[in-house]
């Protein structure tokens, strides 16, 4: 047999000898932490008491400290849970940071599906890095993860059954008129609002929140006039000149009437949709996880005296098919 042909056999014999020579008492091997074995952070429970923006910012900063080990022991699980708390209240940077941890297995279990939703929420709030990541990951699929589910105090409540509704107390008093509302605008709204089956106080609350009664207001997104109609909404409701106060108010009321029918009089969902768009409300099954939208909804509710329901005309449009899911809750994981 030629030497070259004997090489594989010699290697096998040498390997066998080495294994026998180094054999000894069995030694317990330390467990190897693989990517599949990384921990999955728990979803934080509902918050107690009101959550103000400073509190949300504090969660994000604390999360950053635990993620990086700044003056505290590095703890990625704790960081992820704090990012989740802030993300749930619309903090775009927390949404992006948590998505990055989930995508790169930064001390927690990888979850690309949840990360895609978080990147999308951050991208929709203008985070450029999130927009780049979302472009590479594609459209999020499935229901949003728990860290993007609207807080319990903002969630839509089930409507009363018909029999219970007939036995309900007398209608609440009219919604208040904003103290700084100019008399000509108040008078015009009081005359026109019944035509759109809207309470004047509700319409004026939206005008106050949108433009503070400035008929010449224009936003960076080209929303115009008293009710801040974007060009697409103005065209949709036949507003030819959005800077004309009468046309603008009528167009805004037409949109509010349509949203009231779509969300069956739920003021929380209508306010969220007026600010962020009805498709965002349907996609997130409630108030979208945007800080601006969450603050907007709170301002509308404060202006209307906390009213969360309003009469609606069911003939205007069919209700959103997502309403049933919003009201009964859906499994998110």
Angle 262-165-161 (CA atoms, 0-180°, nearest 5)?
70
- Are 288 and 272 in contact by the 8 Å Cβ rule? The answer is yes
DSSP string covering 282-320: HHTTSS-S-HHHHHHHHHHHHHTTT--B----TTSSPPP
Residue 36: phi, psi to the nearest 5?
-70, -20
From 210, 264, 278, 282, active-site residue: 210
With H, G, I as helix, E, B as strand and everything else as coil, classify residue 21.
helix
| CA 7 to each of CA 10, 19, 20, 72, 145: distance values in angstroms, whole numbers, following the listed order | 5, 19, 20, 57, 58
DSSP string covering 112-180: HHHHHHHHHHHHHTT-HHHHHHHHHH-S--SSPPGGGSPPGGGSPPPPPPHHHHHTS-PPPPPPPPPTT
Q: Is 210 tagged catalytic? A: yes
| Burial (0-12, 13-18, 19+ Cβ within 10 Å), 90 | buried
- Comparing CA positions, the residue from 84, 17, 166 lying closest to residue 332 is 84
| CA 226 to each of CA 196, 201, 239, 250: distance values in angstroms, whole numbers, following the listed order | 17, 15, 13, 10
Residue 224: phi, psi to the nearest 5?
-125, 145
Active site residues: 210
């Amino acid at each position: 047999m030629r030497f070259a042909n004997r090489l594989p056999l010699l290697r096998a014999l040498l390997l066998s000898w080495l294994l026998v020579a180094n054999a000894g008492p069995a030694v317990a091997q330390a467990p190897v932490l693989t990517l599949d074995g990384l921990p999955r952070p728990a979803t934080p429970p509902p918050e107690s008491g009101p959550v103000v923006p400073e509190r949300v910012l504090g969660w994000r900063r604390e999360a950053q400290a635990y993620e990086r080990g700044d003056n505290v022991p590095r703890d990625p699980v704790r960081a992820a849970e704090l990012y989740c708390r802030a993300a749930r209240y619309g903090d775009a940077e927390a949404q992006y940071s948590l998505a990055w941890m989930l995508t790169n297995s930064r001390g927690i279990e990888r979850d690309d599906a949840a990360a895609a939703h978080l990147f999308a929420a951050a991208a929709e709030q203008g985070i450029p890095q999130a927009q780049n990541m979302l472009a590479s990951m594609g459209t999020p699929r499935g229901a949003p993860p728990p860290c993007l589910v609207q807080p319990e105090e903002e969630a839509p409540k089930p409507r009363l059954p018909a029999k219970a509704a007939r036995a309900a107390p007398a209608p609440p008093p009219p919604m208040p008129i904003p103290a700084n509302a100019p008399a000509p605008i108040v008078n015009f709204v009081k005359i026109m609002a019944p035509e759109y089956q809207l309470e004047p106080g509700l319409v004026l609350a939206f005008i106050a929140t949108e433009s503070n009664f400035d008929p010449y207001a224009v936003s960076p997104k080209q929303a115009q006039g008293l009710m801040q109609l974007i060009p697409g909404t103005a065209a949709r409701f036949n507003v030819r000149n959005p800077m004309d106060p009468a046309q603008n108010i009528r167009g805004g009321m037409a949109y509010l009437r349509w949203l009231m029918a779509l969300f069956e009089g739920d003021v929380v969902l209508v306010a969220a949709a007026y600010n962020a768009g009805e498709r965002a409300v349907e996609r997130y099954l409630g108030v979208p996880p945007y800080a601006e939208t969450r603050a907007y909804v709170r301002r509308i509710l404060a202006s209307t005296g906390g009213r969360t329901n309003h009469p609606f005309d069911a003939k205007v449009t069919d209700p959103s098919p997502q309403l049933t899911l919003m009201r009964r809750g859906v499994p998110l994981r």
